[in-house]
Structure 1
Amino acid sequence: MARARLMARCALIAAVAGVVLLLTGLGAGGLLVLVIGLAGIVGAVVGIWWFLAHRGPLRLLGAVLAVGAPIAVLVLYFTFGLWLTVLLASGLWAVALFCARMALRRPEHGAGVGTPTVRVRGERRPRPRRPVLIMNPKSGGGKVGRFGLVERAEKLGARVILIDPSVETDVAALARDAVADGADLLGVAGGDGTQALVAAVAAEHDLPFLVVSAGTRNHFALDLGLDREDPSTCLDALVHGEELRVDLGSVSGRAFVNTVSFGVYADVVQRPEYRDAKAGTALDALPDLLQGGQGPGLDAVADDSRLIAQQAILVSNNPYAAPDPFGAAAATRPRLDGGELGVIGVRVTTAAEAAGLAVWGTQATGLNVLTARRVEVTGAATRSASGNGAGPGSGGGTIAVAVDGEALILPTPVVCTLRPRALRVLVPRDRPGSVPPPPRLDWRRINELAFHSSPGTTRRNST
């Protein structure tokens, strides 16, 4: 408590000093620093929007603006002699943020300055007798062969089924056959889409499930606290394992472990050329999708909340800690057993709205962030001709969906739900753990920590 109070006071002192510096400028125009900096951010975001949402000369102009705006800001700072004020203000703000996050860090995450990790402890289980692992040799650029996963798994007593990438394989059928042959554990070395298919079979038969981080991004493994650099360490769970109970998502009857995407991203991954040329395909498709030509808005009902005419909707198996559409690749889920879906809806149709999203973040009008137990999504094709939402339950069309990165076309309405703690995941007892998300910056809470001397009062106000 004493450390938190000290850090909170340091954060407030640094923040106030930064504000005073910018208001007075110490003779170097502090307010001008803010105006130029904000103009640079807006200019860069507008340039990015033009680059993504248009073709031809406007796309070229957008690229120039996106690169040129930050450079212009630096030139103006030096031209007007503001660089010292910028450095001092940036340093003070960095100190304020660091101290604020240290003050708000939960005790179980440690009090040091290093990167903390959290390992959720599970129930210890006896070693499985007949484990079966399904492996995709092409997944993750060939990680199965590069890390010797087949040999190591077989040495630990597992039966390995190698998928032939050249032919279409029903992975779920392979898993069911393995259960029929007496498997007492199912595991996958492959991408998250394959993980979800086998996880559904494991949950159906109440068998433990083993995740081997041999995919490309391994988001599920990341949130389980597994080692994504060396997937062979995941196999240690076969000998020294403990069991975690996690939620399993369902989208129109198909399981998912991470996310279900609707709208812009889902439409892009449907294209056949996407797998071989991701960046080029996205740049070619985005102008039509963002401007509404081929990307009709989405309607959704999340429990009792309605989202109308969204360009993109992301439904996740438990909410992400930082619902930032610009930083989704680095986002993590603090827990996988919370029993709620995370829902993010985005509607940005103009450069001004894109700039507002960049400046205001989760408070922007173009971003909706909420949680729900049931989400129903319909496309524009299911709306009435008058343009009013037809409401939940209306059908008759299809919609592009990306389930854990896999492209699907599903009939509307598409319903997403969650099966709480339905999946038994076997993980190594000795694993890196997951990095907890940084605490949300709550300056009112910082003020309470700095000046309230009663620990009881502080704890009560934090709930």
Structure 2
Amino acid sequence: MVGRRDHPGAPTPVVTLRTRCAAGTALVTALAAVTIVVAGLVREPVRLALAVAMVVVAVVAGWDALVHRGARRYAAGAIVTPALVGGVLLLDLHAVTRIVTVAALVLASLAAARVALHDVLATPSFTTRPVGPAARGVLLMNPRSGGGRVARFDLENEARRRGITPVLLRPGDDLRELAELAVARGADVLGMAGGDGSQAVIANVARRHEVAMVCVPAGTRNHFALDLGVDRDDVVGALDAFGDAVEGRVDLACVGDRVFVNNASLGLYASVVQSEAYRAAKINTTARMLPDLLGPDARGFGLRIDWPDGLGDLDADLVLVSNNVYRVERLSAFGTRARLDEGVLGVIALSLGNSTDLAALLAGEPRGDLSRHRALRQWSTPEFVVDSEEGLVDVGIDGEALRLAPPLHFRSLPASLRIRLPLHSRSAVARSPLPRPGAASAELLRRLIAHPGTGGVHEERR
């Protein structure tokens, strides 16, 4: 399996004063906790060794819980408390103040480490530069998206209060035509409050007219907003991108002349996501449908692709073509993208040759280890073609079901969209997987030493 290539122009995160303070606090409080234990047991070497070991175990387990997810996080978290309690109980039980102090210092160290790791190790998904307020901002809104988020957050009035012209999509309206009209009337920034399918329509209009775009997470899942670094829970706050903001360029992708911001799915995944039950119960729906779609009596999908490892032109049961590379987790949840400016398509293809492959796929779905499946391949490429003997192919594009005539030509549109973000947004923070504790510590120290500058705005790549 081929992972994503290194991005030669990727920016180095700026080490801010907050980050340095958090890192220093984490180190000092951890050392202070150990020092108190040593001072209290210096005359009792056996108890001293045991107490220090337990405090160290508590700190290491805490770090492990910080940098992992799922079952490993819970397991590591379960170790922290008994190790910490065991360490402090070896102290003089009458020294209540000392016991409380050690516990408080360890907890403070872990909390500060969490802040420092997120600030330093999270990689922005694209580079940005400061920009001034929009001169004539227009916000297009789909009132049906996200269960009525537009009305729930009163986005029409919130836009007016900020000097943004609101345009409400009504039954029978053509979203693309409304966006084209807004640009013709002088809009220099187009915003979209809606789902990812609507975001793609506005992104294409903004791309063709070279105007900036604002993504307002008013849809159901808001994957594009997530990977941009927009807070999906702060719908109204996303409107701040029309004011003083940061702007950068991100990639788009297309199949034929249809642009998408996230991904296009074919075969197995396209069939699963079109189920009415999928949104309410992703994993259960996937597991229930897989045997019918892939069993011995299944008709197959007839998708033919050129595999990257010399296997030639072979059939595939699942193909997912994405705008940049996804982190693979489950069939029902492909994860996130570390970057949005690599200028490539991420391709995930799965060909299940026998019932053993299918059983492994079903077993791995709850664990989230799809990337380890032996039948899965992942690679990146600027262009990609999917062919089929079928007259029309089912395709899910940014959550919308379509039927397109093969062959399907996919290509990346590098740096084609100007995107604006609020000053308070933090691209990729708190969503990218953090490395193991040892690697995290080494990388944190390396960056703190190597990059003494302060400030939080990344310079645009030249």
* Counterpart Cα distance in 2 of 1:342 and 1:97: 31
Q: 2:194 aligned with 1:190, yes or no? A: yes
Look up the equivalent residue of 1:438 and give its one-letter code. P
Instruction: Identify the match of residue 132 of structure 1 among 125, 129, 138.
Output: 138
* Counterpart Cα distance in 1 of 2:145 and 2:257: 25
1:16-35 equivalences under 5 Å are none
**Partner in structure 2 of residue 369 of structure 1:** 378
Q: Quick one: percent identity of the two aligned structures?
A: 37
Q: Superposition RMSD on alpha carbons, in Å?
A: 4.0
Look up the equivalent residue of 1:368 and give its one-letter code. R
Deviation by residue 1:103-154 (Cα, 9 ceiling, x = unmatched): xxxxxxx981357154566222221121111101121111111111111111
Structure 1's 270 and 225: CA in aligned 2 closer, same or farther, altered over 3 A?
closer
Structure 1's 442 and 350: CA in aligned 2 closer, same or farther, altered over 3 A?
farther
Structure 1's 362 and 201: CA in aligned 2 closer, same or farther, altered over 3 A?
same
Look up the equivalent residue of 1:328 and give its one-letter code. A
1:21-420 equivalences under 5 Å are 95=61, 98=64, 112-114=113-115, 116=118, 118=122, 122-164=128-170, 167-270=171-274, 286-291=290-295, 293-301=298-306, 306=312, 308-320=314-326, 322-326=327-331, 328=333, 331-348=335-352, 350-357=354-361, 358=364, 361-379=370-388, 381=389, 397-420=391-414
Structure 1's 184 and 157: CA in aligned 2 closer, same or farther, altered over 3 A?
same
Structure 1's 304 and 180: CA in aligned 2 closer, same or farther, altered over 3 A?
farther
Q: What is the CA-CA distance between 1:217 and the residue it aligns to?
A: 0.8
Q: What is the CA-CA distance between 1:201 and the residue it aligns to?
A: 0.5
* Counterpart Cα distance in 2 of 1:303 and 1:184: 42
- Extract unaligned runs of 5+ from structure 2: 1-22, 28-56, 69-110, 444-448, 451-462
Aligned length: 340
| Residue pair 1:100, 1:441 contacting (<8 A) in 2 also | no
* TM-score normalised over the length of structure 2: 0.64
* Counterpart Cα distance in 2 of 1:285 and 1:352: 17
Local SS of the residue matching 1:116 = helix
| Residue pair 2:127, 2:249 contacting (<8 A) in 1 also | no
* Counterpart Cα distance in 2 of 1:442 and 1:328: 26
Structure 1's 354 and 160: CA in aligned 2 closer, same or farther, altered over 3 A?
same
Local SS of the residue matching 1:152 = helix
Structure 1's 303 and 240: CA in aligned 2 closer, same or farther, altered over 3 A?
farther
| Residue pair 2:272, 2:278 contacting (<8 A) in 1 also | no
* Counterpart Cα distance in 1 of 2:299 and 2:206: 38
| Residue pair 2:247, 2:421 contacting (<8 A) in 1 also | yes
**Partner in structure 2 of residue 64 of structure 1:** none
Local SS of the residue matching 2:224 = helix
| Residue pair 2:292, 2:298 contacting (<8 A) in 1 also | yes
Q: What is the CA-CA distance between 1:267 and the residue it aligns to?
A: 2.5
* Counterpart Cα distance in 1 of 2:186 and 2:354: 57
| Residue pair 2:250, 2:417 contacting (<8 A) in 1 also | yes
| Residue pair 2:64, 2:436 contacting (<8 A) in 1 also | no
Look up the equivalent residue of 1:137 and give its one-letter code. P
* Counterpart Cα distance in 1 of 2:157 and 2:66: 48
Structure 1's 400 and 230: CA in aligned 2 closer, same or farther, altered over 3 A?
same
Look up the equivalent residue of 2:113 and give its one-letter code. G
Look up the equivalent residue of 1:334 and give its one-letter code. A
| Residue pair 1:288, 1:294 contacting (<8 A) in 2 also | no
**Partner in structure 2 of residue 32 of structure 1:** none
Q: Which has the higher contact order (CA 8 A, sep 6+)?
A: 2
Q: What is the CA-CA distance between 1:241 and the residue it aligns to?
A: 1.3
| Residue pair 2:305, 2:387 contacting (<8 A) in 1 also | yes
Deviation by residue 1:172-192 (Cα, 9 ceiling, x = unmatched): 121111111221111100000
